[in-house]
Structure 1
Amino acid sequence: MTVKAFIHVQHLLGTGHVVRAAAIGKALAAKGAAVTLATGNKIPPTLDTGPLDIVELPACKSADATFKSLVTLDNEPIDETWKSARVKASIQAFSSGDYDLLLTETYPFGRRQLDFELTPLLEAAKKNPKPPLIATSIRDILVRKKEAWKEKWMADQALRFYDRILVHSDPDFIQLSDSFPFADRVEPLVRYTGYVGPEARPAAQGDDGRDELIISCGGGAVAAPLIEAALNARSLSHKAGGTIWRLLVGHDVGEDAFQRYRQMAPAGLIVERARRDFPDLLKRARLSVSQAGYNTVLDVLTAGLPAVFVPFAQADETEQTQRAEALARHGRAVVVSEAGLTPARLAARIDDALSLELSPHQVQLGGAQRSAEILLADLKDRF
């Protein structure tokens, strides 16, 4: 019997969530499952979804870095009519197939803005004559909440609806309890998978990346401080001032801003759009400079080069800072705060990173494949 899996994912600013969800979907498909990926935002052009059946839900994104309000991709506020259409679309997509597995990415350990949609979806799944296995896929570090009731609600939702919690980290490196105070309540549901990624990408052509300093910013929606500092830091670096710098600008940065960055670039600094061969560029490079999003960090760790992390930390975001500091403790990177970032501060930390003696600690990878194995074993035990 072919297992049928339904994965729900919503990325709001960065692209890491949909990249992880697609990786798990493709790992399930490689083991014979028929997989539907229902996405609530536009899939980035650098992501290969392979054999997945894509369902495009009415799309939304975060209005800004606070994540307090959702807007359409045209920046129009969403209203009750929009919400009703989104709920209907999700439930119809799920109900159209006799799914054995329902996997929600992040929720309920985040994406509480989508509770209007996801609680009805979960309730509908539970009411099926043959309810699916219900699992959630969460990254290594959760964003801490100021109000304890919000974190308690996460645990309550997990215990109410979920059969499995997949934590995409190396437990020798980071555990759920490091960022979630109710981890003990949900511990029986938790399985650590190792980190998800990076997916196979094309090889870089020619000498691109060779002995270069690679600066990247994911989708780029919240990367202006890093980009603007990097554009003026090369001449201030004592150890990398003679190196080619390559700045990769994400596709969430508008064309006008992208062209302005290109015009600002001094000699020796190449500005171009984000590339699918990014992992291979890193393998050739001297140093990576980036934010500390999940997927970028995995690319850096896999490439095995020193790094400077400028973690996104606006509007009480803590996840990237925790991840970057964990890597620094393991001797894999140096960290510079986004607040008050200047070209001089960035150049100084670049010089520090180029002096690092990298720790030999090997982080557990293969998280997508291990996730698929865990879920299929759960289904075998269940049915």
Structure 2
Amino acid sequence: MKIAFYCQHILGIGHFQRSLLLCRALLARGHRLTLILGGPEIEVTDSRIEVLQLPGLRMDAEFGGLLPCDEGAGLADIKEQRQKMLYQFFQEEEPDIFITELYPMGRKAFRFELDPVLQGIDQGSLAPCFCCSSVRDILVEKSSGREKFEERAVKTLNRYFDGLLIHADANIISLDETFARTAEVVIPKYYTGFIAPEMAARGGGVAQKEDDLPLVIASIGGGSVGGELLEAVASASQEGTFRLKIFCGRYSSAELKLRLEQYRSPLIEIVTFSHDFQREMEAADLSISMAGYNTCMNILRAGTPALLYPFQQNREQGLRVKKLGIYREIQILSEADLPATRLRERIEEMLGYEKFMSKVELDGAMNSALQVEAWFEKFTAEDHNA
């Protein structure tokens, strides 16, 4: 099958990383796949993945709207270019399956380019295509206009989509906890389990520790937010009873990196990112991070004790920490914990915990691939019999 996978990472890299794991599962099943991107520049290292790169858009500093990644470009011109490129791709390539990451349950700012494609498929001006939405465990709730947003999302799903993949374990959290009108979505819905990478130990072993000192890793995903956490951890880690490895993130500011460099020492290492973060997580005795989807899945797969500092802009990460609180080895950090003395106490306490075994369903990538195949087989059979 020819699959088009649409993913727009406009703030961090979480959506991209989760989509990449799902793409690899689809490739493992023998399908041809094009990943459609259009956020800040990012490298796709898997040569099996074909990439359609749309002119880049990113989130503005106030989280209020989109801006061109090319500062000299006009937003209207970029949108027009993107819309034409995306529509032309479907005219020329005629994919069998179209998967949209988050849309229409998010990413409404991109409906200018997605709706013409979905309408074209629905109305027959584009080739028939099975359309599927791929959403994470928790949706970012709207501070205003929620009822209108949910009404539109339900109508769009029911009109233009054929299936909804929910990348969560329903025993931990269900979609209706952050999307009140889930019951009104009449297309097939499937809880895939969480999408987590495979254990690094299966592919060549975990990272090797330098000595017997405990290893703490600190990270903030892509690095767009959360710098205060990394600085607090660095400040609390100067007494030399454990090793610390800090991951700044691809999009961290030069100013943050410069401030962190002041803490560099034989026991404090500072890097931008890792191409195999799961391997780093498995080597660690403690992870300190924000509570994004992907980092939490790294933690659950590795069974590494964790201190989680939820992003405060919305309640997504706080809710995720609450749901994962079934494990005593996963605990929350608040702003009150960031002063050096207090944070060091929390770190020392958490280093007393052993690795744990997660019972959460974490094979969501392959489960998704198998479900999409099953849906598509039924879709083509119904189309043939029509």
Q: Which residue among 106, 112, 128 is the counterpart of 2:102? A: 106
Instruction: Please give the TM-score of this superposition, normalised by the length of structure 2.
Output: 0.89
Higher mean alpha-carbon deviation, 126-135 vs 355-364, is at: 355-364
1:127-276 equivalences under 5 Å are 127-128=123-124, 130-146=127-143, 147=145, 148-186=147-185, 188-198=187-197, 203=205, 206-207=208-209, 211-235=214-238, 242-255=241-254, 257-265=256-264, 268-276=267-275
Instruction: Give distance in 1, aligned partners of 2:141 and 2:291.
Output: 16
Contact persistence 1:225–1:338 (CA under 8 A) = no
* Residue 278 of structure 1: how far off its partner (Å): 2.2
* Residue 14 of structure 1: how far off its partner (Å): 1.3
Higher mean alpha-carbon deviation, 94-103 vs 275-284, is at: 275-284
Is it true that 1:96 corresponds to 2:95 in the alignment? no
Contact persistence 2:158–2:187 (CA under 8 A) = no
Instruction: Give distance in 2, aligned partners of 1:167 and 1:198.
Output: 17
Q: Which amino acid aligns with 2:191?
A: Y
Segments of 5+ residues of structure 1 without an aligned counterpart are none
Structure 1 partner of 2:384? none
Instruction: Give distance in 1, aligned partners of 2:328 and 2:211.
Output: 23
Give the secondary structure class of the aligned counterpart of 1:260.
helix
Could you report, residue by residue, the CA deviation over 1:219-239 in whole angstroms, capped at 9, with x for unpaired residues? 111121211211211258xxx
Q: Which amino acid aligns with 2:250?
A: H
Higher mean alpha-carbon deviation, 193-202 vs 83-92, is at: 193-202
Could you report, residue by residue, the CA deviation over 1:137-163 in whole angstroms, capped at 9, with x for unpaired residues? 101111111232222222222112111
Q: Which amino acid aligns with 1:324?
A: V
Structure 2 partner of 1:57? 54
Are residues 200 and 305 of structure 1, via their aligned partners in 2, closer, same or farther at CA, if it must alter by over 3 Å? closer
Instruction: Give distance in 2, aligned partners of 1:273 and 1:13.
Output: 17
Instruction: Give distance in 2, aligned partners of 1:56 and 1:110.
Output: 20
Are residues 268 and 220 of structure 1, via their aligned partners in 2, closer, same or farther at CA, if it must alter by over 3 Å? same
Instruction: Give distance in 1, aligned partners of 2:65 and 2:254.
Output: 25
How big is the alpha-carbon RMSD for the aligned residues of Structure 1 and Structure 2? 2.4
Instruction: Give distance in 1, aligned partners of 2:149 and 2:60.
Output: 21
Instruction: Please give the TM-score of this superposition, normalised by the length of structure 1.
Output: 0.89
Structure 1 partner of 2:42? 44
Instruction: Give distance in 2, aligned partners of 1:235 and 1:176.
Output: 42
Are residues 13 and 346 of structure 1, via their aligned partners in 2, closer, same or farther at CA, if it must alter by over 3 Å? farther
Amino-acid identity (%): 31
* Residue 57 of structure 1: how far off its partner (Å): 0.5
Instruction: Give distance in 1, aligned partners of 2:87 and 2:19.
Output: 19
Are residues 265 and 75 of structure 1, via their aligned partners in 2, closer, same or farther at CA, if it must alter by over 3 Å? farther
Are residues 122 and 344 of structure 1, via their aligned partners in 2, closer, same or farther at CA, if it must alter by over 3 Å? farther
Aligned length in residues: 373
Could you report, residue by residue, the CA deviation over 1:8-39 in whole angstroms, capped at 9, with x for unpaired residues? 11011111111122222222222121111110
Structure 1 partner of 2:284? 285
Instruction: Give distance in 2, aligned partners of 1:199 and 1:19.
Output: 13
Instruction: Give distance in 2, aligned partners of 1:77 and 1:327.
Output: 43
Are residues 245 and 379 of structure 1, via their aligned partners in 2, closer, same or farther at CA, if it must alter by over 3 Å? same
Is it true that 1:323 corresponds to 2:320 in the alignment? yes
